[in-house]
Amino acid sequence: MKDKKYEVRRRYDATATHYDKRYFDIQMKKYNEIFSEIDVDNSEIILDVGGGTGLLLDFMENQTSNIFCCDISFKMLKEGKNKHKANHFICADSDHLPFKENRFNKIICVSVIQNVPDPQITLQEIYSSLRCEGIIILTALTKLFSDTKIKEMMHKARFSILKLWQLTIEDISVIAKKNEG
């Protein structure tokens, strides 16, 4: 497990300075599709798991100041902090989120789950960090995750799926709600 995390951190640290140039357009397309399905209130507290260089902040364009970006790659976060000085960037492992329980209204997890050793552990951490009735928006590469696998993972983590669909670009997406209790 630690070896995979180390390799992911190393890979993203190595690409941090040119990550946005390479992935900006594709991530913006994903965000456009995802956020056409949900509303964001500017008072909501949002966590972007795997938020790296702050591309979600680029997309949101100051719609809310309550976005926290966490990522395992310090160099990715450094790039994000250089662009978005007033926002919160936290170096953290998605399997051990450093937030109190029931903190966030929404948690965004775009193209991250395929990079973790055990997605179920990450989903449990996200579940704990979400407020009651909170929303998770998750995408995963379709070449690694089927509709059935995503449904199984979300159910096991005690989420209620609100919508599951294929994005036009490489990912399957799910919007789910934290169940009470």
pLDDT, tens only, 61-72: 766 678 999 999
Structure tokens of 172?
């399957």
Looking at the 3D structure of the chain, how many domains does it have? 1
Q: How far apart are the first and last CA of the chain?
A: 30
CATH number of the domain residue 131 falls in: 3.40.50.150
Could you count the other beta carbons within 10 Å of the beta carbon of residue 94? 22
Mean pLDDT for the chain?
92
User: CA 98 from chain center: how many Å?
Assistant: 15
Instruction: Look at residue 140 and give its three-state secondary structure.
Output: strand
pLDDT, tens only, 87-143: 899 999 999 999 999 999 999 999 999 999 999 999 999 999 999 999 999 999 999
Give the range of the structural domain holding residue 77, as residue numbers without chain letter: 2-37+44-178
Average pLDDT over residues 156-178: 94
pLDDT at 64 (0 to 100): 66
Can you list the positions of beta strands (E) in the chain?
46-49, 67-71, 88-91, 104-109, 130-141, 159-166, 171-178
d(Cα 130, Cα 4) in Å, to the nearest integer?
26
Confidence of residue 166 (pLDDT cuts 50, 70, 90): very high
pLDDT, tens only, 6-43: 888 999 999 999 999 999 999 999 999 999 999 888 88
Structure tokens of 50?
């795997």
pLDDT at 181 (0 to 100): 58
